[in-house]
Amino acid sequence: MSAGVQVFDRLLEIALLVQADMARELEPAGLTPARTHLLWEVHQRGPSSQRALATALDVTPRNVTGLVDALEERGFVRREPHPTDRRITLVTLTEQGARTTAEMEKSHREIAAHLVAGFDADRLEQFRTDLDTIAARLHELMDPEARS
């Protein structure tokens, strides 16, 4: 088996492990990976229209409506009118949503620190650069315009 295939297999293994860990940690709160992604986007962007969230998540506006409905029902987000454009409804974090995303951010930092403990700065920078290259190539493969 080539080194490239071994690297790809390891990346797939890591992706599955991260996804399984996220699901295990977030399921008790009623958060699926898709709901968590939307919650994280609102945390990062601040109050956002559902259309902007659909674009950020690369899903349909209808899909975002379902995600926001579920998050609103569980108390993580609320819908508010846009202050200057009555046609737009903004999705904002509630106090519970802000607490949850703060906990997610803390956990994110702790896991990252644990995973790279013992790597020297140069090795870590090279690893990040290599991962950036792999991510860029994956984005290219997923972009139908780049492939034609």
Q: Which domain holds residue 59?
A: 3-117
Look over the chain and give the mean of its residue pLDDT values, rounded to a whole number.
93
Buried b / exposed e over 89-115, threshold 16 CB at 10 Å, is ebbebeeebeebbeebeeeeeeeeeee
The pLDDT value given to residue 146: 59
Q: Give the total number of structural domains in the chain.
A: 1
**pLDDT-based confidence at residue 147 (cuts at 50, 70, 90):** low
Mean pLDDT within 108-132: 94
Q: What is the dihedral of CA 31, 36, 39, 44, to 10 degrees?
A: 150
Listed in sequence order, the DSSP H helices in the chain are 3-26, 33-45, 50-57, 61-73, 95-116, 121-142, 144-147
Residue 62 lies in a domain: yes
Residue at 97 is within a domain: yes
For 47-84, the pLDDT digits (tens) are 999 999 999 999 999 999 999 999 999 999 999 999 99
- Domain assignment present for residue 106? The answer is yes
CATH number of the domain residue 74 falls in = 1.10.10.10
In a domain, residue 141? The reply is no
In a domain, 88, yes or no: yes
Out of 26-30, 54-58, 65-69, 143-147, pick the least confident: 143-147
